[in-house]
Amino acid sequence: MGANVILVGFMGAGKSSVGRLLARRLGRCFVETDDMITAREGRSIPEIFAERGEAHFRALEEETMRLLALKSGDVIATGGGLCCRAGRPEALKALGTVVWLRGDFDALYERARRAGERPMLSGRGRDDVEALYRAREPYYRQADVTVDTTGIGPDQVVARVVLALRDRLASPATKGRGEAAG
Ligand code: S3P
């Protein structure tokens, strides 16, 4: 199994919208780890956090990692915390090319606050969320490819991801070094 394209990054990075467009562009199936979890549990992510707590959600993410091993050739958007555990970046890289959608923290924060209900934001002020982001950065940074999303829309991000994936295919020696900013 493998050869998936796996999108990682903080809340608000656009993993879902970029993933959906990217999958269409590449003619691949699109999968979201949060959707895998809600489908299995029959409850929304906010409901899971409210009723069972974060620890339970993280256990469900662990289970999802095992299911991801069955995927092949898909575009996979991960929840913002999925790759941020010891061993996860390596485990994800074994399943395909991991792409970090990086962005300016304040832009990510604003987008994350505006769109949808996000349990990891509730009860946390901006500084706490930034501390969470900084703690996660070392995990995101282990991605095979980094795409800077600052100031550009999903279509342009997709174009950058496609370029970066082509570059990697063309020159495997540059694996892990890629920075696909404009
Ligand atoms: C989380 C991010 C969410 C979702 C859950 C936890 C996180 O996904 O998995 O609420 O810990 O950052 P998005 O990154 O799609 O918002």
Which residue owns the Cα nearest ligand 1 atom 2?
80
- The answer to whether residues 68 and 33 touch, using CB atoms and an 8 Å cutoff, is yes
State in Å: Cα 154 to ligand 1 middle. 19
Q: Sign of the CA dihedral 51, 52, 55, 58? A: negative
Pocket of ligand 1 contains residue 96 by CB under 6 Å = no
CA 78 / ligand 1 centre spacing (Å)? 8
Per-residue confidence (pLDDT) for residue 170, from 0 to 100: 84
| Torsion angle of the four alpha carbons 80, 86, 92, 98, in this order, in degrees rounded to the nearest 10 | 60
* Ligand 1 and 154: CB distance under 6 A: no
DSSP-assigned beta bridge partners for residue 2: 72
Which pLDDT score, from 0 to 100, does residue 182 have? 43
pLDDT for the residue 171: 75
Ligand 1 centroid to residue 120 C-alpha, Å: 7
Q: Which of 41, 68, 105, 118 to mutate to test the pocket of ligand 1 (most atoms within 8 A of CB)?
A: 118
pLDDT in tens, 103-152: 999 999 999 999 878 999 998 999 999 999 999 999 999 999 999 999 99
Is residue 51 scored above 70 in pLDDT? yes
Averaged pLDDT for residues 35-51: 96
The pTM score is 0.93
Q: Is the dihedral of CA 124, 115, 73, 26 positive or negative?
A: negative
